Homo-oligomer: A and B are copies of this chain.
Amino acid sequence: MDNRDIVVTSRIRLARNLKNYKFPVKITIEEAEKVISEVNSAINRINLNYELTYMKNLNNIEKSALVENHLISPALAEKERAAFLLSKDKKVSIMLNEEDHIRIQTLSPGLSLKECWDLSNKIDDVIEESVDYAFDNELGYVTSCPTNIGTGMRASVMVHLPALSITNQIEKLLYGVSQLGVAVRGVYGEGTKSIGHLYQISNQGSLGTGEETLIEKITQIVNQIIEKEVKLREHLKKNNFDEIEDEVYRAYGLLTNARRMTVEESMKLLSILKLGKEMDIVKLSKEMDIYRLMTMIQPSNIALKTGNNLNPKEREKNRAEILRRELLQ
Protein backbone atom coordinates (compact mmCIF):
# COMPACT_ATOMS: atom_id res chain seq x y z
CA MET A 1 0.00 0.00 0.00
CA ASP A 2 1.16 3.50 -0.88
CA ASN A 3 1.12 6.02 1.96
CA ARG A 4 -0.59 8.32 -0.49
CA ASP A 5 -3.60 6.05 -0.19
CA ILE A 6 -4.03 7.20 3.39
CA VAL A 7 -2.55 10.69 3.21
CA VAL A 8 -4.45 12.48 0.50
CA THR A 9 -2.71 15.87 0.61
CA SER A 10 -0.31 17.90 2.67
CA ARG A 11 -0.63 21.62 3.09
CA ILE A 12 1.49 24.43 4.52
CA ARG A 13 -0.01 27.83 5.18
CA LEU A 14 2.09 30.84 6.15
CA ALA A 15 0.44 33.91 7.66
CA ARG A 16 2.17 37.21 6.95
CA ASN A 17 1.29 40.85 7.42
CA LEU A 18 2.66 44.05 5.94
CA LYS A 19 4.32 46.46 8.32
CA ASN A 20 2.64 49.72 7.45
CA TYR A 21 -0.96 48.60 7.06
CA LYS A 22 -3.77 47.99 9.52
CA PHE A 23 -4.87 44.35 9.88
CA PRO A 24 -7.49 43.38 7.24
CA VAL A 25 -10.34 43.61 9.75
CA LYS A 26 -9.73 47.39 10.08
CA ILE A 27 -8.29 48.13 6.65
CA THR A 28 -9.76 50.75 4.28
CA ILE A 29 -10.78 49.85 0.75
CA GLU A 30 -7.84 51.80 -0.65
CA GLU A 31 -5.31 50.12 1.64
CA ALA A 32 -6.77 46.68 0.87
CA GLU A 33 -6.33 47.38 -2.82
CA LYS A 34 -2.74 48.49 -2.20
CA VAL A 35 -1.94 45.25 -0.31
CA ILE A 36 -3.27 43.25 -3.23
CA SER A 37 -1.35 45.18 -5.84
CA GLU A 38 1.90 45.13 -3.83
CA VAL A 39 1.85 41.35 -3.46
CA ASN A 40 0.70 40.86 -7.02
CA SER A 41 3.62 42.92 -8.27
CA ALA A 42 6.05 41.09 -6.02
CA ILE A 43 4.94 37.75 -7.40
CA ASN A 44 4.78 38.77 -11.02
CA ARG A 45 8.08 40.61 -10.87
CA ILE A 46 9.77 37.25 -11.29
CA ASN A 47 7.31 36.07 -13.94
CA LEU A 48 5.44 33.46 -11.91
CA ASN A 49 2.28 34.25 -13.88
CA TYR A 50 -0.08 33.64 -11.00
CA GLU A 51 -3.64 34.52 -11.74
CA LEU A 52 -5.17 37.24 -9.57
CA THR A 53 -8.87 36.94 -8.72
CA TYR A 54 -10.91 39.41 -6.68
CA MET A 55 -13.55 37.99 -4.38
CA LYS A 56 -15.98 40.74 -5.41
CA ASN A 57 -15.87 39.43 -8.97
CA LEU A 58 -17.00 35.94 -8.03
CA ASN A 59 -20.51 34.75 -7.34
CA ASN A 60 -21.32 32.57 -4.33
CA ILE A 61 -21.15 29.32 -6.28
CA GLU A 62 -17.71 30.12 -7.67
CA LYS A 63 -16.42 31.05 -4.21
CA SER A 64 -17.88 28.00 -2.60
CA ALA A 65 -16.45 25.68 -5.29
CA LEU A 66 -13.00 27.16 -4.61
CA VAL A 67 -13.48 26.37 -0.91
CA GLU A 68 -14.59 22.82 -1.75
CA ASN A 69 -11.43 22.41 -3.79
CA HIS A 70 -9.34 23.72 -0.87
CA LEU A 71 -7.92 26.54 -3.00
CA ILE A 72 -9.20 29.28 -0.72
CA SER A 73 -10.44 29.34 2.88
CA PRO A 74 -14.10 29.79 3.85
CA ALA A 75 -13.05 33.04 5.58
CA LEU A 76 -11.58 34.46 2.36
CA ALA A 77 -14.78 33.67 0.46
CA GLU A 78 -16.70 35.91 2.86
CA LYS A 79 -14.47 38.97 2.50
CA GLU A 80 -15.44 41.61 -0.05
CA ARG A 81 -12.01 43.24 -0.08
CA ALA A 82 -10.11 40.01 -0.46
CA ALA A 83 -8.40 38.47 -3.46
CA PHE A 84 -6.13 35.53 -4.19
CA LEU A 85 -3.28 34.61 -6.48
CA LEU A 86 -3.31 31.10 -7.90
CA SER A 87 -0.44 29.26 -9.57
CA LYS A 88 -1.11 27.47 -12.86
CA ASP A 89 -0.72 24.02 -11.29
CA LYS A 90 -2.98 25.10 -8.41
CA LYS A 91 -0.36 24.03 -5.89
CA VAL A 92 0.14 27.58 -4.60
CA SER A 93 -2.60 29.91 -3.54
CA ILE A 94 -1.84 33.27 -1.97
CA MET A 95 -4.83 34.63 -0.13
CA LEU A 96 -4.87 38.39 0.34
CA ASN A 97 -6.76 40.30 3.03
CA GLU A 98 -8.21 37.24 4.66
CA GLU A 99 -7.53 37.34 8.43
CA ASP A 100 -3.98 38.41 7.63
CA HIS A 101 -2.76 40.45 4.68
CA ILE A 102 -1.05 37.44 3.17
CA ARG A 103 -1.63 33.73 3.55
CA ILE A 104 0.59 31.61 1.40
CA GLN A 105 -0.85 28.13 0.96
CA THR A 106 0.97 25.29 -0.74
CA LEU A 107 -0.69 21.96 -1.47
CA SER A 108 0.93 18.69 -2.46
CA PRO A 109 -0.23 15.06 -2.68
CA GLY A 110 0.72 12.48 -0.05
CA LEU A 111 2.68 13.08 3.11
CA SER A 112 4.90 15.85 1.80
CA LEU A 113 4.95 18.67 4.33
CA LYS A 114 8.66 19.22 3.77
CA GLU A 115 8.13 19.83 0.03
CA CYS A 116 5.26 22.17 0.81
CA TRP A 117 7.39 24.00 3.32
CA ASP A 118 10.25 24.42 0.83
CA LEU A 119 7.86 25.78 -1.77
CA SER A 120 6.12 28.10 0.71
CA ASN A 121 9.46 29.31 1.89
CA LYS A 122 10.47 30.16 -1.64
CA ILE A 123 7.28 32.12 -2.32
CA ASP A 124 7.67 33.81 1.06
CA ASP A 125 11.17 34.95 0.10
CA VAL A 126 9.99 36.24 -3.27
CA ILE A 127 7.32 38.37 -1.61
CA GLU A 128 9.62 39.56 1.17
CA GLU A 129 12.05 40.92 -1.39
CA SER A 130 9.43 43.52 -2.35
CA VAL A 131 7.47 44.21 0.81
CA ASP A 132 8.09 44.87 4.50
CA TYR A 133 6.65 42.14 6.74
CA ALA A 134 5.43 42.91 10.24
CA PHE A 135 7.98 41.01 12.32
CA ASP A 136 8.83 41.18 16.02
CA ASN A 137 12.26 39.98 17.02
CA GLU A 138 10.90 38.34 20.14
CA LEU A 139 7.53 37.06 18.93
CA GLY A 140 8.30 36.39 15.29
CA TYR A 141 5.75 37.08 12.55
CA VAL A 142 2.95 39.30 13.81
CA THR A 143 -0.44 37.93 12.92
CA SER A 144 -4.01 38.98 13.38
CA CYS A 145 -4.91 36.00 15.53
CA PRO A 146 -2.57 35.28 18.48
CA THR A 147 -2.53 31.53 17.75
CA ASN A 148 -0.63 32.24 14.55
CA ILE A 149 1.98 34.55 16.05
CA GLY A 150 5.49 33.12 15.82
CA THR A 151 6.20 31.12 12.71
CA GLY A 152 2.78 32.04 11.33
CA MET A 153 2.77 28.53 9.98
CA ARG A 154 0.07 25.94 9.93
CA ALA A 155 0.94 22.51 8.64
CA SER A 156 -2.04 20.28 7.82
CA VAL A 157 -2.32 16.79 6.47
CA MET A 158 -5.54 15.33 5.08
CA VAL A 159 -5.87 11.67 5.98
CA HIS A 160 -8.40 9.08 4.84
CA LEU A 161 -9.13 6.69 7.69
CA PRO A 162 -11.94 4.34 6.65
CA ALA A 163 -10.76 1.28 8.59
CA LEU A 164 -10.37 3.22 11.83
CA SER A 165 -13.73 4.86 11.20
CA ILE A 166 -15.86 1.82 10.38
CA THR A 167 -14.44 -0.09 13.34
CA ASN A 168 -15.27 2.85 15.64
CA GLN A 169 -11.68 3.31 16.74
CA ILE A 170 -11.37 6.77 15.26
CA GLU A 171 -12.76 8.79 18.19
CA LYS A 172 -10.31 7.37 20.66
CA LEU A 173 -7.40 7.79 18.28
CA LEU A 174 -8.27 11.37 17.44
CA TYR A 175 -8.72 12.21 21.11
CA GLY A 176 -5.26 10.81 21.82
CA VAL A 177 -3.80 12.82 18.95
CA SER A 178 -5.45 16.03 20.12
CA GLN A 179 -3.68 15.57 23.48
CA LEU A 180 -0.39 15.99 21.61
CA GLY A 181 -1.18 19.60 20.74
CA VAL A 182 -2.57 18.77 17.35
CA ALA A 183 -5.98 19.79 15.97
CA VAL A 184 -8.22 17.29 14.18
CA ARG A 185 -11.32 18.12 12.20
CA GLY A 186 -13.48 16.69 9.45
CA VAL A 187 -12.66 17.88 5.96
CA TYR A 188 -16.17 18.21 4.60
CA GLY A 189 -19.27 18.76 6.65
CA GLU A 190 -19.89 20.85 9.74
CA GLY A 191 -17.40 21.18 12.60
CA THR A 192 -15.50 18.04 13.45
CA LYS A 193 -18.08 15.70 11.93
CA SER A 194 -16.33 13.97 9.06
CA ILE A 195 -17.91 12.96 5.77
CA GLY A 196 -16.09 10.33 3.75
CA HIS A 197 -13.75 9.43 6.64
CA LEU A 198 -11.45 12.33 5.74
CA TYR A 199 -9.69 14.18 8.56
CA GLN A 200 -7.46 17.20 8.66
CA ILE A 201 -4.60 17.00 11.13
CA SER A 202 -2.76 20.23 11.88
CA ASN A 203 -0.62 21.95 14.47
CA GLN A 204 -2.24 24.08 17.16
CA GLY A 205 -0.27 27.25 17.89
CA SER A 206 2.95 28.15 16.16
CA LEU A 207 4.81 30.15 18.79
CA GLY A 208 8.17 29.06 20.15
CA THR A 209 8.84 26.15 17.85
CA GLY A 210 10.70 26.33 14.60
CA GLU A 211 8.92 25.43 11.36
CA GLU A 212 10.99 22.33 10.70
CA THR A 213 10.40 21.02 14.22
CA LEU A 214 6.66 21.55 13.83
CA ILE A 215 6.68 19.76 10.49
CA GLU A 216 8.66 16.88 11.92
CA LYS A 217 6.26 16.58 14.83
CA ILE A 218 3.17 16.51 12.60
CA THR A 219 4.83 14.07 10.21
CA GLN A 220 5.67 11.79 13.11
CA ILE A 221 2.11 11.84 14.43
CA VAL A 222 0.68 11.24 10.95
CA ASN A 223 3.04 8.32 10.46
CA GLN A 224 1.73 6.78 13.66
CA ILE A 225 -1.84 7.20 12.43
CA ILE A 226 -0.93 5.68 9.06
CA GLU A 227 0.58 2.70 10.84
CA LYS A 228 -2.61 2.18 12.86
CA GLU A 229 -4.80 2.41 9.77
CA VAL A 230 -2.53 0.05 7.80
CA LYS A 231 -2.41 -2.53 10.59
CA LEU A 232 -6.16 -2.38 10.96
CA ARG A 233 -6.64 -2.89 7.22
CA GLU A 234 -4.40 -5.94 7.38
CA HIS A 235 -6.37 -7.23 10.35
CA LEU A 236 -9.65 -6.68 8.52
CA LYS A 237 -8.34 -8.41 5.42
CA LYS A 238 -7.36 -11.41 7.50
CA ASN A 239 -10.31 -11.62 9.86
CA ASN A 240 -13.25 -9.81 8.30
CA PHE A 241 -12.62 -10.19 4.60
CA ASP A 242 -16.15 -11.32 3.72
CA GLU A 243 -17.76 -8.34 5.41
CA ILE A 244 -15.39 -5.82 3.87
CA GLU A 245 -15.66 -7.41 0.44
CA ASP A 246 -19.45 -7.27 0.63
CA GLU A 247 -19.42 -3.64 1.81
CA VAL A 248 -17.04 -2.61 -0.97
CA TYR A 249 -19.03 -4.28 -3.74
CA ARG A 250 -22.30 -2.93 -2.40
CA ALA A 251 -20.78 0.56 -2.47
CA TYR A 252 -19.64 -0.05 -6.06
CA GLY A 253 -23.06 -1.41 -7.02
CA LEU A 254 -24.86 1.62 -5.64
CA LEU A 255 -22.38 4.16 -7.03
CA THR A 256 -22.60 2.68 -10.53
CA ASN A 257 -26.36 2.21 -10.55
CA ALA A 258 -28.17 4.74 -8.38
CA ARG A 259 -30.01 7.50 -10.24
CA ARG A 260 -29.90 9.98 -7.37
CA MET A 261 -27.22 10.60 -4.80
CA THR A 262 -26.81 13.00 -1.90
CA VAL A 263 -23.31 14.28 -1.06
CA GLU A 264 -23.39 12.43 2.24
CA GLU A 265 -24.19 9.06 0.69
CA SER A 266 -21.72 9.53 -2.17
CA MET A 267 -18.92 10.40 0.24
CA LYS A 268 -19.68 7.42 2.45
CA LEU A 269 -19.73 5.03 -0.51
CA LEU A 270 -16.70 6.54 -2.25
CA SER A 271 -14.75 6.22 0.98
CA ILE A 272 -15.55 2.50 1.16
CA LEU A 273 -14.74 2.09 -2.54
CA LYS A 274 -11.38 3.85 -2.02
CA LEU A 275 -10.66 1.41 0.79
CA GLY A 276 -11.66 -1.50 -1.44
CA LYS A 277 -9.41 -0.30 -4.25
CA GLU A 278 -6.47 0.09 -1.90
CA MET A 279 -7.10 -3.33 -0.32
CA ASP A 280 -7.17 -4.86 -3.83
CA ILE A 281 -10.73 -6.03 -3.32
CA VAL A 282 -12.20 -4.25 -6.30
CA LYS A 283 -10.34 -3.71 -9.56
CA LEU A 284 -10.53 -0.12 -10.75
CA SER A 285 -8.31 1.48 -13.33
CA LYS A 286 -5.06 2.66 -11.78
CA GLU A 287 -5.79 6.22 -12.86
CA MET A 288 -9.10 6.26 -11.00
CA ASP A 289 -8.63 9.05 -8.46
CA ILE A 290 -11.42 8.62 -5.97
CA TYR A 291 -10.49 11.69 -3.97
CA ARG A 292 -10.88 13.73 -7.17
CA LEU A 293 -14.36 12.23 -7.55
CA MET A 294 -15.14 13.19 -3.96
CA THR A 295 -14.38 16.78 -4.88
CA MET A 296 -16.26 16.68 -8.19
CA ILE A 297 -19.51 15.68 -6.54
CA GLN A 298 -19.51 18.47 -3.94
CA PRO A 299 -22.58 20.73 -4.28
CA SER A 300 -20.88 23.87 -5.60
CA ASN A 301 -18.64 21.96 -7.99
CA ILE A 302 -21.80 20.51 -9.51
CA ALA A 303 -23.59 23.85 -9.47
CA LEU A 304 -20.63 25.47 -11.21
CA LYS A 305 -20.50 22.85 -13.99
CA THR A 306 -24.22 22.97 -14.61
CA GLY A 307 -24.56 26.75 -14.57
CA ASN A 308 -26.39 26.63 -11.23
CA ASN A 309 -29.62 25.83 -13.05
CA LEU A 310 -30.48 22.70 -11.11
CA ASN A 311 -32.81 22.32 -8.17
CA PRO A 312 -31.66 20.05 -5.33
CA LYS A 313 -33.31 16.94 -6.81
CA GLU A 314 -31.79 17.57 -10.22
CA ARG A 315 -28.41 18.07 -8.57
CA GLU A 316 -28.77 14.61 -6.98
CA LYS A 317 -29.50 13.17 -10.42
CA ASN A 318 -26.51 14.97 -11.91
CA ARG A 319 -24.29 13.71 -9.09
CA ALA A 320 -25.37 10.12 -9.78
CA GLU A 321 -24.66 10.65 -13.49
CA ILE A 322 -21.16 11.93 -12.77
CA LEU A 323 -20.46 8.94 -10.55
CA ARG A 324 -21.66 6.44 -13.15
CA ARG A 325 -19.77 8.16 -15.95
CA GLU A 326 -16.51 8.38 -14.02
CA LEU A 327 -16.62 4.92 -12.46
CA LEU A 328 -17.84 3.04 -15.54
CA GLN A 329 -15.57 4.72 -18.06
Query: Which A residues are closer than 8 A to B by beta carbons?
Result: 242-243, 245-246, 249-250, 252-260, 313, 317, 320
Contact = CB atoms under 8 A, between A and B. Distances in A.
Contacts of A313: 242
Given A245-B259, A253-B254, 4 more contacts: A242-B260, A242-B313, A249-B257, A253-B257
9 contacts: A242-B313, A243-B260, A245-B259, A249-B259, A250-B257, A252-B257, A253-B254, A253-B256, A254-B254
A254 B248 CA distance: 11
Q: Which of A245, A253, A260 has the most CB of B within 10 A?
A: A253
A249 B321 CA distance: 13
Nearest to A241: B259
Nearest to A244: B259
A245 B316 CA distance: 13
Nearest to A247: B259
A255 B257 CA distance: 11
Nearest to A256: B253
A234 B117 CA distance: 62
A317 B258 contact: no
Q: Which 3 A-B pairs have the closest CB atoms?
A: A253-B257, A253-B253, A246-B259
A283 to B, nearest CB: 13
Given A242-B313, A317-B242, A254 B250 contact: yes
B245 A250 contact: no
Contacts of A257: 249-250, 252-253
Contacts of A255: 253
Contacts of A245: 259
A23 to B, nearest CB: 50
Contact of A253 (B242, B246, B258, B260): B258
Contact of A259 (B242, B254, B259, B260): B242
A313 B317 CA distance: 35
A204 B256 CA distance: 47
A307 to B, nearest CB: 21
Nearest to A246: B259
Nearest to A249: B257
A254 B251 CA distance: 8
Contacts of A249: 257-259
A217 B177 CA distance: 73
A218 to B, nearest CB: 38
Nearest to A243: B260
Nearest to A251: B257
A317 B243 CA distance: 10
Contacts of A260: 242-243, 246
Contacts of A320: 246
A243 to B, nearest CB: 8
A284 to B, nearest CB: 13
Nearest to A260: B246
Contacts of A254: 250, 253-254
A274 to B, nearest CB: 16
